[in-house]
Structures are given as C-alpha cells and as structure tokens.
Amino acid sequence: MRARPDNWLLAILALSVVLNSWHLQWGLPNGNHSWAADGIGPVTALSVARRNFGSWNSGWFYFKYPTAWPFLMVAASAPYLGWLYLTGGWRHPSATYPYGFADPERALFVMAMIGRALSVAFGVGIVAVAYGIANRLLGRHAARWSAFLVATAYPVVYYAHTTNLDISYCFWLVLALYAAIVASDTTRPLPWLVLGVAAAMALSTKEQGFAWLLPLPVMALAARARATGRLQSVWAAPTWWMIGAGAVALAVANNVLINPLGFAARIAYLLGHPLGTVEARLAPVEFALWKGAKEWVYVEQLWDGLSSSLGIVLVGVAGAGAFTALWRRPTAALWLLVPTVVLYYLSLRGLDLITLRYLLPITVVALILAGTLLADVWSQLGRGAARWLVAIALTAVAALSLARAVELDRLLVTDSRYAAERWMNANVPPAARVEIYQKSAFLPRFRGGMVVELVPIAARTRAGLLARHPDLIVTSSASYKSITHTWAADWRETRTLLTPDPGAVDLLKGLEAGELPYRVGAVFRQDPVLIRNRITSIAPEIVVYVPSQ
C-alpha cells in the first residue's frame, strides 16, 4: 500500500513556491542583463548553445561555467521560441541586437522569466529533497522542520529569483546525496541511476561540486558491501548502472559528442593549462594540504557565510544538532557531514574567496541538522508548562526564519534601484549623458533616451572626467572595488585578484570628497533589519552625482 503524501510537506512546498515566486520580475525587463550578479542572460544562453552546436568539434567553450545550465535555459524556452518562429517573431536569429526578434525587449523579458521559473522549480526541489534526506535518515518530524527551514532560508529564496546557476547546482548535489542514501539500502536500479545522473549534472553545472560527490558512491557501495558481507557486491550491476548513467548524462550535458575538443579545452583551462590563447582571466584555484595562516581566513569566511545564511540563532541550533546527531545517530551524521567536510577541504579551500553562494549545499545540510534538533527537543518533552514554553520558543524560531525570507522578498520589491530610476525619470533630462564605472547588474536601468557610457579604467581620471563633463554620474555600493580596480589576468603572477588603478582611485577620492565640480544629487539605500546581507546584488546603495553648477 502506497504511503499518503505528508500534508505538512505539501504546505511547505506551497510556501516555497510563494516565497520563490514573489516579485519574480525583479529588475526586469532589462534586455540580456539582470540585477543578479553572474546571472545568465537569455542571449548568453542562446549563444552558448549556438557556439556548441553550430559546428563539429569547434573547440569553443564557455570559460565562465559548464554548459548544463545554459542548455536547460534554452530547452525551457524552446516552446516559446518555436511559437515565435511560427508566428514570425523570430525568423532570422542573429548574434547582434535585436537578435532576430521582431520585439526583442518583449522576447528577452519572457525568456528571462522562463529561466527564473525554472530556478523556482529547482528551489522547491531542494526543499523536497531536503525533506527526503531528513525523512530517510532522521524521521518525519525532523523532515518537516528541515524542509521548512530550507524553504525559508533567504539565500535559497534569493537564488530562486534569478537565472544564476547556483540554485540548480545545489539541487543536483543534494539530489545526489539523497540518491546515495537510498542506493545504500537497495540493488534496485533507479537510485543508482539517479545518483549517476545527478552527479553528472552537478559537475556539468559547476565543477567545484566534485568534492561533495567524491565520497557518495564510496559510502553507498561500502554500505552495500557491509550489508551483503561480500566485497564483490561493489562491482555488481548497480555500480555499472551508476557509472553508465553518469557517463551518458555528462556527455549530453557537455555536448561531448559534437564538441569533444571544447569539453577538453575547458578542463585544461580550469587546471591552469589552456590549450590555446584564452581571452579570460584564470580562475583563482589552488589546492594545498595546509595553507598556514590562511586556514583561519577560510574559517572566518565559512562562519560569515553560514551566520548570514542561517542567522545566529539557527547557526547555534545547527551546531548543537551536529553534535547531537554524531552522538545519537552517527550513521545519519556521517551521511550529512562527510560530503560537507570534503567539499570544504578539497574544493572551497582551493578558492581565493568562499562566497555565500558557494555554501548553498552546506547551508542545506546545516538546516537539516537544525531541524533534527528542533524535532528532538519537541518530541522529548512531556506535558505541562515546560512544553508550552518550548513550543513558544520553537514557534519563535520558525517565525524568525519565515520573517527573514519575507524580508528578502520585501528587499526585492523595494530595491533601491527602483527609487533611483523614479528620481532620474523625474529630475534628469531625457537625453542626459550618464557616466558609469560598474556593470549594469549593480546599477539602475536607464531609460532609452539617456546616453550611458561605461568609462574604461584607463580613462577614469580627474582630467578625463573634466573633459567629458557628463550630466550625471551613478555609482553603486555593490562591486564597489570595480570602480577603481581591475582583475588580474593571471593571479599566479600577482598573488592577488584585484589591482588598483591610481588614476581611478584618485578620481573616486576626489568625487567623494567634493574636490570635483560634482555634488551628491541623491542617495538611495535600504537597511535590512533581520538579514545580515552577504549577497552583492541585494540592497545596494545608489549614489547619483550631478554638476555642482
């Protein structure tokens, strides 16, 4: 007899849909751009697909990311693109604006929304898989708490609003963990097939997940060998199902059959040995068994990201949950902690900076551990006043988590860039010349008549500004260093990611000190109350400078 669906899970999934979808049009329409830093635009996704499938074994590769997420975005938009083609809205695709669209702004808006809807689905999927992991390892009550906490985690809610690949990457990783847990108890093909496919899709979305995936088949196969008492079970049919499914998914997601040289070239690029000339900076990846004093820097970055993602209260609960799980449920704790520790040690420590989005899978594990402790506390209480006090405390924890998610949605609705746009529309002439020094992702949208110039770093000098004499200068607190710094082409030579430009540094100093013929015309900012924000794209302060005379 099939088990009935858990009504609590259905309610939590519905809540996740609402939180992830609220103001999904944040910052749109905006052409191929968005306010989400590193979001993949519709044209970018189409370009990745075209360059990969356009000719046999071209060797081209997308230096920034693997191809799985752009391919999924294009696949999700395929019915809409087909309809446009049939109705004459997209008959002659082009690499330049308007890209062959009869109404490019409308088409790009719809495609961006389709991509975001896909992210919403992945975000809800993470909640469902977190429930499955906790239910399998720790019981239904822990699963309910875990699902709720994941659904209301502000990083999950935020990335479900974007076309960043991080939400799908996290989904594939936690799905691989769930599949490995299920596979460890059975020889049925499905869990092993899912493990192989999920692992391949995670790697094809962002390669840094390799460390999380490494221990999963080992742990699943070790459990099978222990259950059967025969080492030969390691090489039984389930192993080959997993390997075969993973190999096929990896080949499809990376277009290996049509462009094998491109796949090889990307791997070589990531290893720091490009096969040819690459006009892109090398990623700062360097592993060492021990990095001396920098180990404490990594610990601080880990703490900063987790304390922001969960909040101090849930960080404490998650830490206590980890110790409790190790003591009372060591097998469950190992399933949760081993991939987490390996990801941190082998992958995240190899980077120069551990940002909040890199911690998404670790955040999910921490919330499962937190949910486990909360469920244990409730289940072990008797009746009386103490139970009511604890019930009030647990309700307060849940309300705080939900309030943080709601605040994230509020920050999107009231984004400071909207206020800046309204001010410019009301106070700036339609044909004004606007000077900017940062990517459009961090700035307001400028209406069609404005002439906007992204000034190159070499021209960011006091003399250059005086010669250009723009009508408006707009800066953002997001990616603030990009005003005055450039990326090092090869971090191995400079041992630093960013290099300051003296002229740009002097220009910014003079602008902020009032030493140039410009004054602050308006400032737009947001001040989160519950969230200690560590996502660059959220709540930037926008400063508009106008001529002082």
Map residue 109 onto helix, strand or coil.
Answer: helix
Q: Read out DSSP for 177-241?
A: HHHHHHHTT---HHHHHHHHHHHHHHHHH-GGGHHHHTHHHHHHHHHHHHHHT-GGGGGSHHHHH
Residue 402: the pLDDT is 98
Number of domains comprising the chain: 1
Residue 518: beta bridge partners? 547
Interval 119-140 mean pLDDT: 97
Residue 1: the pLDDT is 46
Asked whether residue 29 is assigned to any structural domain, the reply reads: no
Cβ partners under 8 Å of residue 265, min gap 6: 59, 60, 61, 274, 275, 276
Map residue 485 onto helix, strand or coil.
Answer: strand
Asked whether residue 435 is assigned to any structural domain, the reply reads: yes
- 176-189 per-position pLDDT tens digit: 999 999 999 998 99
Q: How does residue 494 score in pLDDT terms, banded at 50, 70 and 90?
A: low
Residue 309: the pLDDT is 97
Asked whether residue 214 is assigned to any structural domain, the reply reads: no
Asked whether residue 448 is assigned to any structural domain, the reply reads: yes
Asked whether residue 157 is assigned to any structural domain, the reply reads: no
- The encoded tokens of residue 482 equal 């990009």
Interval 215-236 mean pLDDT: 84
Interval 493-514 mean pLDDT: 87
Residue 307 amino acid letter: S
Lowest mean pLDDT among 124-133, 164-173, 282-291, 351-360: 282-291
Question: For residues 232 and 226, which has the higher predicted lDDT (pLDDT)?
Answer: 226
Residue 279: the pLDDT is 62
Residue 252: the pLDDT is 96
Residue 352: the pLDDT is 82
Q: How does residue 498 score in pLDDT terms, banded at 50, 70 and 90?
A: confident
Asked whether residue 470 is assigned to any structural domain, the reply reads: yes
Report the sign of the C-alpha dihedral through residues 316, 318, 321, 326, in that order.
Answer: negative
Q: Is the pLDDT of residue 77 over 60?
A: yes
- 310-369 per-position pLDDT tens digit: 999 999 999 999 999 999 999 999 999 999 999 999 999 998 889 999 999 999 999 999
Domain ranges, residue 426: 416-547
Residue 229: the pLDDT is 76
Residue 438: the pLDDT is 96
Asked whether residue 342 is assigned to any structural domain, the reply reads: no
Residue 54 backbone class (left: φ over 0; alpha: ψ -120 to 50; beta: rest): alpha
Asked whether residue 421 is assigned to any structural domain, the reply reads: yes
Residue 92: the pLDDT is 86
Residue 270: the pLDDT is 83
Q: What is the pTM of this model?
A: 0.95
- 242-289 per-position pLDDT tens digit: 999 999 999 999 999 999 999 998 898 888 777 776 666 666 677 889
Lowest mean pLDDT among 2-16, 395-409, 483-497: 483-497
Q: Count how many Cα atoms sit within 13 Å of the Cα of residue 83 in the half-sphere of its side chain.
A: 7
Q: How does residue 95 score in pLDDT terms, banded at 50, 70 and 90?
A: confident
DSSP code, position 481 = G
Lowest mean pLDDT among 40-44, 205-209, 261-265, 475-479: 261-265
User: Tokens 């049919």 — which residue?
Assistant: 237
Residue 161: the pLDDT is 98
Residue 2: the pLDDT is 60
- 433-460 per-position pLDDT tens digit: 999 999 999 999 998 889 999 999 999 9
CA pair distance 61, 263, nearest whole angstrom: 7
